Chain A
């Protein structure tokens, strides 16, 4: 026996079917198509992911069906990457070299600041004159604790290995916070880039003059734009859009949000520099 539904209910069913059909018909791009730019940077702790997402989505959507996906958690980013989704990855060179050992990536572009693709990290202090005096001291720096500790280890070398457990690290959102923390007495030393120290010189020459450089690290690359290996030819249009960002005002502004002012192709760099991005 057939159940007879009231007319109004039959109409609802029809409408629900239409809505479901319409929803299922919408072309949903699978996560990690070549149209996505993935971003994670352990060298900065600025919680600006919503701003980055809004600005990059706005910029990229004008160039095509592209989108931007920032990550705040290293693990989440790495799990995503292990699935080798199609797209372009923006990541720090320090992280790139670590990741490359387990997830093969190929660097295509390197970010530049003031035209330079590399930066040097330095350790500065106000009232401390030598490295051994850092025992018990607080060192402020931007980025994850893993990153800060590894930079410090590299800077101080094996001869000061015993000093490391005696140092307290304080992760702050950005370099300028770290430098000001030393000037205003919340930290004894700051781990920052040379570029940031130069910025402090422009803001407050007196504070800058009070800081002494205790140690400096090797030069390292700024942000890297990479693709998963084997290289995807279909990532070329998106790489081109990233490479030419500085040519448009909105693109230039978005680059500044990443602390960059342009990109250089890896294949246009000196061979000696490129070697630094290859695994031993």
Chain B
């Protein structure tokens, strides 16, 4: 004869379980509520400084694709197109989004101004450190860290151990300290030259370029003050037959040999992962992350003219290869 098991009702009717049932029910409801809260689709407001800017468009597309179904609803606000940035304040009040993702400096400033207690996430903000940050502010930096830049330089041009760098201590002292430690790890020597009001750049360029294998032009507003300064740096480097390594494709026209910048779509994907972590209240190692992807332009033509070899095994990592055609 098959054994008969007690039904759930019978089990619950035992005196012991009768007494603990309300407690169990409460715990179960609590767990369910937490799960629902954690998994319910979020409402995200994307504030874009100008949707017609290609880089902003790319980063937004990547964000939207990566966040996927986690975002139940995405509301868009284009600062440029709206013509009335103050409309954002009303939109935030009306919609009460769970998170505001701001793309570009203008969007970030407005989101911070009108966002109240909502978490504000940013990307594509040039030199984000210049803005005041609140506790509910998170982001993906627009520039690779100097340590990343140095590692990729070592990867692409391994035969150039003496790296010259010009910086203004008011802007870059801390970053250069990190870079110095990283250079040591990579077996590189950082030959540093500081500039300030009393010691203008041209005074030092000849002596610096004599001591180095490559000039590393970092994003330092104290150094790259104007177009004339940039032209002076490239003109001296060319005269000394030294390649220039830098962070933006804008310098290709001046004759940069290697440019390593942040990869735009990766920033959007990183922002989406960070948004998810913020909404799930997961612990974050860093509230502002460096970009995880790189975009590399190698000017093989210029390197050839300077008789400088590059690492051919790194060619599959190069996005743009400029040859002398």
- Nearest Cβ distance between residue A141 and chain B, in whole angstroms? 11
- In the complex with contacts A186-B289, A207-B185, A51-B320 CB distance below 8 A: yes
Contact with B along A27-50 (1 / 0, CB 8 A): 000000000000000001111101
CB distance from B299 to the nearest CB of A (A): 12
Asked whether B312 lies within 8 Å of A172 as measured between CB atoms, the reply is no
Chain A residues near B321 (CB, 8 Å)? Answer: 48, 51, 54-55, 257
Pair B292/A140 contact, Cβ less than 8 Å: yes
Residue of B nearest to A250 (CB): B323
Task: Tell me how far the C-beta of B139 lies from the nearest C-beta in chain A, rounded to whole angstroms.
Answer: 13
A256 in contact with B313 (CB, 8 Å): yes
The answer, among B151, B263, B289, B315, for a CB contact under 8 Å with A173, is B263
**Residues of chain A lying within 8 A (CB to CB) of residue B266:** 170-173, 177
Task: Flag B180-192 by CB within 8 Å of A: 1 or 0 each.
Answer: 0000011000000
* CA gap between A51 and B318 in the complex, in Å: 9
Q: Which residues of B contact A174 (CB under 8 A)?
A: 294, 316-317
Q: Are A185 and B185 in contact (CB under 8 A)?
A: no
Within B121-163, which residues are at the interface with A (CB < 8 Å)?
A: 145, 147-148, 151-152, 154-155, 158
Would you call A186 and B290 a contact (CB within 8 A)? Answer: yes
Q: Which residues of B contact A181 (CB under 8 A)?
A: 292
| Chain A hits for B270, CB < 8 A | 170, 186
CB distance from A164 to the nearest CB of B (A): 15
Can you spell out 10 A-B residue pairs with CB atoms less than 8 angstroms apart? Answer: A48-B319, A51-B321, A55-B323, A140-B292, A173-B295, A177-B266, A180-B151, A184-B147, A203-B186, A206-B185
Given A168-B273, A253-B312; 13 other pairs, CB 8 A cutoff: A47-B319, A138-B273, A140-B292, A172-B292, A173-B294, A176-B155, A180-B148, A181-B292, A186-B270, A199-B155, A199-B313, A203-B154, A203-B186
**A residues near B315, Cβ cutoff 8 Å:** 253, 256-257
* Residues of B that sit less than 8 Å from A by CB: 145, 147-148, 151-152, 154-155, 158, 185-186, 263, 266, 269-270, 273, 276-277, 282, 285-286, 289-295, 312-321, 323, 325
- Closest Cβ of chain A: how far from B31's Cβ, in Å? 17
Distance of B252 from chain A, by nearest CB (Å): 14
Among A138, A187, A203, which residue has its beta carbon within 8 angstroms of that of B155?
Answer: A203
Q: Is the CB of A44 within 8 A of B316?
A: yes
Q: Tell whether A247 is near chain B: CB-to-CB under 8 Å.
A: no
With A and B bound together, what is the CA distance between A17 and B190 in angstroms? 67
The smallest beta-carbon distance between A180 and chain B, in angstroms, is 6
Q: Do A184 and B320 touch (CB < 8 A)?
A: no
By size class, the interface of chain A is 35 or more
Cβ–Cβ contact B147 & A177, under 8 A: no
Tell me the smallest distance from the CB of B281 to a CB of chain A, in Å: 11
Instruction: Please list the 7 inter-chain residue pairs (A to B) with the smallest Cβ-Cβ separation, ordered nearest first.
Output: A259-B316, A256-B315, A181-B292, A186-B292, A172-B293, A51-B321, A174-B317
Contact yes or no, A170 B273, CB < 8 A: yes
Would A46 and B285 count as touching, CB distance under 8 A? Answer: no
Which residues of A are found within 8 Å of B320, using beta-carbon distances?
48, 50-51
A48 to B319, CA, bound (A): 4
Q: Nearest-CB distance from B260 to chain A (Å)? A: 11
Chain B residue at minimal CB-CB distance from A47: B319
Docked-complex contact A58 and B185, CB < 8 angstroms: no
Instruction: Report chain A residues within 8 Å CB of B154.
Output: 203-204
A16 lies within 8 A of chain B by Cβ: no
What residues of chain B lie closer than 8 Å to A176, measured between beta carbons?
152, 155, 317
Residue of B nearest to A258 (CB): B316
Q: Is the CB of B290 within 8 A of A184?
A: yes
What is the CA–CA distance of A176 and B148 in the complex, to the nearest angstrom?
11
Residue of B nearest to A171 (CB): B269
B156 to chain A, nearest CB (A): 10
The distance in angstroms between the C-alpha atoms of A46 and B298, with both chains bound, is 14
Give the Cβ gap from A48 to chain B, nearest Cβ, in Å: 5
In whole Å, how far is B179's beta carbon from the nearest beta carbon of chain A? 13
With a CB–CB cut-off of 8 A, which chain B residues contact A184? 145, 147-148, 290
For A58, the chain B residues whose CB sits under 8 A away are 325
Q: How far is the CB of B321 from chain A (nearest CB, A)?
A: 5
Q: Are B186 and A204 in contact (CB under 8 A)?
A: yes
Q: Which residues of A contact B295 (CB under 8 A)?
A: 47, 173
Q: Measured between C-beta atoms, what is the minimum distance from B309 to chain A in Å?
A: 12
A227 and B154 CA atoms in complex are apart in Å by 39
How far, in angstroms, from A206 to B282 measured CA to CA in the complex? Answer: 29
